Structure 1
Amino acid sequence: MSEPPPYTAVQGPPPRYTLPETFNIGRRNVDLFIQPQQLKGHLSMLHAFHSLRVTVESNDEPRFPRNIREMEPENRWGWFVSIAVERFERWCRSLGEWCFTNLELALPPVDVLMVWHTYLLNPIWYAEDTAHISAVAHLPRLTEYLATNIGSPDLLITISPHPDRVHNWEHRTNTPYDPWDAAAAVTNKGIQCPYCEHRMVVPFLDPLGSGYAQSNFVARCVSCGKKFKKDMLGLYKFANDIAEITGFLSGTLHTPYNQHDTARATLIKKRIIAGAKLPVSGTITARAFMEKLKFDPAMLTGILNTQIQQRIGRRILGAYTDDRPFSVELVGAVLRQASFVRKMADLGWTEPDFFDDEGEMVILQHCVARYHAFLALMVDAPGSFFVPTLDIDLAWHTHQLRANHYHTECKQVVGRYIDHDDKVDEDHLATAFDITCRAWTNRYGLPYTYCGCPLPGTTLGQRLRNALSLHRHREQDVLVPPPDAAAGTHASDHNAVYINRKASEHARERRRQKAERRRRRAALDAKDKDEPKDAPAALRRSNRNETDRGTHELAFFYPIPLYIGVGSWLFSPLLTSLAWLRVGCGRLWSSVCGASVWRRW
């Protein structure tokens, strides 16, 4: 056996980070789905959205009515988002063939763009809605235009729009183009009574807290005199979809493997009609369905539970929470998404000049690389639920804004349509994030995060596999972030929600205590490690990652036992039983366990 080449010191700066032109995902070698320039443009949009929120919450806009200015900042932001969703709905309903003659004239103001952006980040719902709901049927063509311009978003978020664009907007939506003028002008919403179908107008805000944009919404019909809430409006929307002969119920048409499963959707609809004891064939009116259910939303829940799987039933019910045409409750979705936008702003990434320097663009190149590696992880484990870090989530969101491409590319490469659920229980996310950390390390031989959070433990067998991977797959170095990108590898927990608040708070405290103990044990373990200088660089980074303390708040962490160094007396019987590894594997074993263990052995 020939001797290895002698070590030679390398002079000069380290080699420049280069983003590969293709990635291996599953059995395919694919071109990049997104480019760093598109991430930069997306961040410019997020900067505009964040500026909206800062202005609203800081009460810096003098055009707000007095009752708005007296609100708490969080409530004022919720009201502003409600107005933006109303404007988005009016815009969607105004779209038609006319807009395709000049797409630029059809583009909306920045507050409506914010709502549209959030809608796109629910890719399965967006694809299904635009396929079967007439109110949003024209959005895909405009979405393609948005995808084309995302790398240079000045056209999308311009503060000086063309006068024809302003005129076109005001003529077709009957609201001012400027978001601040519109916020002061849009005070009422038109609805239809679910009992007598009388059209009426309700205020967005009411002194008693019962306005449409408030949590305790309730209205009394001026015709029949009956009171109703949003759940009744949702039931009425459901009844209208049941009554539409050629239509489908939201949540039934799109599956992970079939974008238009009309046979499934038709069967589900027939089962619900039969469960309501109405004729499956023949004409059914919305009022007849409502009367059969005695105008009780709870009866619909009971029918769904008996006629179809509960998982499908919950998905359907989630699409009928109010009378808006969208299957996503967009006000809540925008409020949740604002948390992620704020995290991007806290990193400084949304600042207009942050990525003007070519050297800083390496951060976005790294985001792109890690996102494609994340997709490859999904291919390797199709049944798993993986949680992205902030940098991966940014790239994932950017890919979703290219809605038509995203849908096609996911199906071709991953084998199924990948949704982006922003309503997942916090404790479930914590468990899934630990699983993601382990899967990433097993797959690439590198830590998943570099932000300083205490990571899940690593068993001896996993550590051996990681070292083998490091020796064999040096091309994975493209996944190692530059120092300025480390903060972006923090867990993206913006989509964590409380399903059971008391239980979730108890679980959070338990994870916090476990994480603190993990840190202390890692610090003690680090003192016992005599790490060799020739250990793989990624392994040394992993060890440091276990003890570094981040400057951010802990992400969700599920309690998993901390890795105990091999130097511990607990492992001495194991070392004896593995003495065969000394032959031919000495250097590898030393790099995994530490030189001090090798010397004692």
Structure 2
Amino acid sequence: MLNPRVFLEDCIRGGAMGFWTAGFPWELVNSCIDDQSLEYHAGQAAVAHFQQKTGLPWDNLKCSSKKPLSCPSCKHELSVPWTEAQISAPVDEAFENCRGFADKNFQKKCPVCKFEITHETLKTEKFRKDVRAFWASDVPMPGTFYDVRGVPKAATISSRKKRQSLFPNRLIKAIGTIFLSQTDPTDDDWKSMAALRDKLQSRIKSRDVMRRVNPDSGISSLFPEEKVAFRRMMARYWDNHTPFALDLVGAVIRQGTFVQKMDNIDWLHSPTVKATMDRLIKKYEVFFQIMAQNPRNMAVPTLDVDLAWHTHQLSPSRYFDYSVFTTRQHTRVPKFIDHDDKVEETKLSDGFEWTSKMYKKLTKGDIYSECTCWYCEAIRAPDLSDGIFVSSSTSRAREAAANLHNRPDISSDPEKNPHISAHSAVPAETKKTRAGFDPRYVKHLKLQSNYQKARRRAEKRDRKQGNKEQDRSSDATLYAMAYGYPVYVPYYAPYVADPCVHSNAYPSNPGCMSFVSGAHGNCAAGTCGGAVAAGGCGGMGGGCAGGCAGGGGGGAAGGCGSGGGAGCGGSSSGGGGGGGCGGGGGGGGCGGGGGGC
């Protein structure tokens, strides 16, 4: 599971609530996996059923090299190549001039009407299609199924303040027919999402339009949650022309980073795998408690916690019940905790440092990230620094941190330890600081300073105890690993985006988001900051690196004020924490995946 809110929204809009309720078929999938080779064999009956339902071969390598496509202008059915890339070409040039459907610069001229089909025209056509469905069948616009806490609410006749999340529907109802006629795909002025955004922006600024949108209110400016709802709706179209609320290509690429790290740790072949799973489930329970108690802060998981989190989400209805029940216990306000798809790198690192402190506090001195890489040492250093008065939890944490280097279950290879889970990390396009420095550079300097302090403290402790000093001045993780080789990446740390993801290979860059005002992916002026539109599914205040109590994203780097980011969907079925933390098979499952990324 990638984003539980987005998944619920798609299930509601697609009429697949049976799938939402049933969850992942753990027993069926387990029965198809060979215990020795771990190969997956579904059986002939399943293969035949799949082929009959989809019309596609079971083996995706046998699929056609072309994709059927409908022209947005004349609706003529045509076929286009998936890609025109050549494997033999240099990496920097392999996709530059490619015009296939999966290529960044997709371009195809309709043989009938000569309309030029691109990714941008397909995005605007998706928006027009949703507007037509809203007018013809009362299908709500994407992103309007829930409030800022991710919990759906019935559409009732009430005050404007109580139906803020429905603002995009009211806006489309007021301008829909005229807007459709003015955004004809054959008009060169309406062939991009940026142009469509500008048109919507002018409508929102119109007092006459806003009076029609909110006839029972004399206030023409948008309320905080209305801003969030608008940006959440637009987030369904930026870099995404698929039927889903999320760009699955980028999501799968980012998720692949998580799966790769799980494979490197190799818990599946560990003789203590069951004990490891029991321990990480308990750790996940503490992590979830941190999220529930602190809805305005961003909690960031370690890899082991993220494994439990993603697995829990694969039983979506039980995860929803557990989330709503737990948050109501701690804050009296039910929230559907989401897992953000994109989180800006430095914000992710700051959230990880805060989570480490909270974990130490709640567990009375346990270490959150049981890893000895330079980054984890740097994160722990400020919280374990020397002082006149030291709490018992800090003293216990210091001892635990010192013993990490001597524990047989902690590998000297940082790729084998469960430190920060950064598969949702993306480098945000932001303005430089007033002094002209890149914010990533400033963050890197601070971490390096903390690491040097931790190293000197450890060397001093070694001398005091008469132990043989270890050379702690060099660390392989100062460099990124790409295809098994260390490579230099400016300001690299384990919290940054995967350097192996090449942006030119995909229609939408899966490893970047923009917070610069007016940039592609940022919405109409006056409707909030970049976190929601760029893919961070935020909600009332903070959230979590992939997930947030109440949503996430908001308030960060141009974030969303009191309304925070945006979440996605949710059925407000009641309380009892049904499913516990394992979520039916969830806990202890070793499958990666999910949570978004």
Give the alignment's TM-score, normalised by structure 1.
Answer: 0.59
1:122 aligns with 2:3: yes
Match of 2:142 among 250, 253, 258: 250
Report the secondary structure of 1:457's partner residue.
helix
Match of 1:446 among 343, 361, 366: 366
**C-alpha distance after superposition, 1:123-143 (max 9, x if no partner):** 110001101124x566336x5
Any conservation in 2 of the 1:250–1:319 contact (CA below 8 Å)?
yes
Equivalent residue number for residue 546 of structure 2: none
Any conservation in 2 of the 1:367–1:395 contact (CA below 8 Å)?
yes
1:332 aligns with 2:250: yes
Equivalent residue number for residue 65 of structure 2: 187
Any conservation in 2 of the 1:340–1:494 contact (CA below 8 Å)?
yes
Equivalent residue number for residue 169 of structure 2: 269
Compute the displacement of 1:502 (Å).
9.0
Give runs of aligned pairs for residues 184-583 of structure 1, distance below 5 A. Answer: 186-206=64-84, 208-244=97-133, 245-257=137-149, 259-263=151-155, 264=163, 266-274=166-174, 276=175, 278=177, 290=184, 294-305=190-201, 307=204, 310-320=227-237, 321-350=239-268, 354-355=269-270, 357=271, 359-414=272-327, 415-444=334-363, 445-452=365-372, 453=376, 454-455=378-379, 456-458=381-383, 466-467=391-392, 483-484=408-409, 487-500=416-429, 506-526=438-458, 552=477, 554-556=493-495
Any conservation in 2 of the 1:389–1:488 contact (CA below 8 Å)?
no
**C-alpha distance after superposition, 1:257-291 (max 9, x if no partner):** 454335345432121343x4747xxxx9x667647
Whole-angstrom CA distance in 2 between matches of 1:287 and 1:191? 23
Report the secondary structure of 1:191's partner residue.
strand
Aligned CA distance change for structure 1 residues 413 and 470 (closer, same or farther; 3 Å): farther
Matched residue count: 407
Report the secondary structure of 1:458's partner residue.
helix
What amino acid maps onto 1:555 in structure 2? P
Compute the displacement of 1:174 (Å).
1.9
Aligned CA distance change for structure 1 residues 382 and 220 (closer, same or farther; 3 Å): same
What amino acid maps onto 1:196 in structure 2? C
Compute the displacement of 1:519 (Å).
2.5
The gaps in structure 1 that reach 5 residues or longer are 1-119, 472-480, 534-543, 558-601
**C-alpha distance after superposition, 1:393-418 (max 9, x if no partner):** 11111111111211111111123111
**C-alpha distance after superposition, 1:481-507 (max 9, x if no partner):** 985267543111111112228969944
Compute the displacement of 1:429 (Å).
0.9
Whole-angstrom CA distance in 2 between matches of 1:179 and 1:296? 32
Whole-angstrom CA distance in 1 between matches of 2:292 and 2:357? 16
Give runs of aligned pairs for residues 46-65 of structure 1, distance below 5 A. Answer: none
What amino acid maps onto 1:254 in structure 2? Y
Aligned CA distance change for structure 1 residues 492 and 403 (closer, same or farther; 3 Å): same
Aligned CA distance change for structure 1 residues 175 and 310 (closer, same or farther; 3 Å): same
Whole-angstrom CA distance in 2 between matches of 1:457 and 1:388? 19
Any conservation in 1 of the 2:168–2:230 contact (CA below 8 Å)?
no
If asked which structure has higher relative contact order (CA below 8 Å, sep 6+), I would say 2
Compute the displacement of 1:145 (Å).
4.8
What amino acid maps onto 1:499 in structure 2? A
Compute the displacement of 1:470 (Å).
7.8
Whole-angstrom CA distance in 2 between matches of 1:450 and 1:418? 25
Whole-angstrom CA distance in 2 between matches of 1:273 and 1:335? 37
Report the secondary structure of 1:219's partner residue.
strand
Aligned CA distance change for structure 1 residues 339 and 212 (closer, same or farther; 3 Å): same
Whole-angstrom CA distance in 2 between matches of 1:463 and 1:555? 32
Whole-angstrom CA distance in 1 between matches of 2:32 and 2:285? 24
What amino acid maps onto 1:498 in structure 2? P
Compute the displacement of 1:254 (Å).
2.7
Structure whose alpha-carbon radius of gyration is higher: 1
What amino acid maps onto 1:251 in structure 2? G
Whole-angstrom CA distance in 1 between matches of 2:313 and 2:407? 25
Equivalent residue number for residue 165 of structure 1: 46
Report the secondary structure of 1:431's partner residue.
helix
Whole-angstrom CA distance in 2 between matches of 1:461 and 1:253? 50
Equivalent residue number for residue 133 of structure 1: 14
Whole-angstrom CA distance in 1 between matches of 2:43 and 2:316? 26
Say which is worse superposed, 151-160 or 334-343, in terms of deviation.
Answer: 151-160
**C-alpha distance after superposition, 1:74-95 (max 9, x if no partner):** xxxxxxxxxxxxxxxxxxxxxx
Compute the displacement of 1:513 (Å).
3.5
Compute the displacement of 1:255 (Å).
3.2
Whole-angstrom CA distance in 2 between matches of 1:462 and 1:272? 59
Whole-angstrom CA distance in 1 between matches of 2:115 and 2:383? 62
Any conservation in 1 of the 2:340–2:424 contact (CA below 8 Å)?
yes
Aligned CA distance change for structure 1 residues 172 and 508 (closer, same or farther; 3 Å): same
Whole-angstrom CA distance in 2 between matches of 1:489 and 1:159? 26
Give the alignment's TM-score, normalised by structure 2.
Answer: 0.59
Whole-angstrom CA distance in 1 between matches of 2:54 and 2:273? 41
Aligned CA distance change for structure 1 residues 176 and 530 (closer, same or farther; 3 Å): closer
Any conservation in 1 of the 2:142–2:233 contact (CA below 8 Å)?
yes
Any conservation in 1 of the 2:67–2:81 contact (CA below 8 Å)?
yes
1:174 aligns with 2:31: no
What amino acid maps onto 1:139 in structure 2? F
What amino acid maps onto 2:495 in structure 1? F
Equivalent residue number for residue 581 of structure 1: none
Compute the displacement of 1:322 (Å).
4.0
What amino acid maps onto 1:431 in structure 2? D
Whole-angstrom CA distance in 1 between matches of 2:116 and 2:101? 13
Any conservation in 1 of the 2:168–2:233 contact (CA below 8 Å)?
no
Whole-angstrom CA distance in 2 between matches of 1:256 and 1:483? 45
Aligned CA distance change for structure 1 residues 121 and 519 (closer, same or farther; 3 Å): same
What amino acid maps onto 2:102 in structure 1? A
**C-alpha distance after superposition, 1:466-489 (max 9, x if no partner):** 416889xxxxxxxxx985267543
Aligned CA distance change for structure 1 residues 502 and 209 (closer, same or farther; 3 Å): farther
**% same residue:** 25
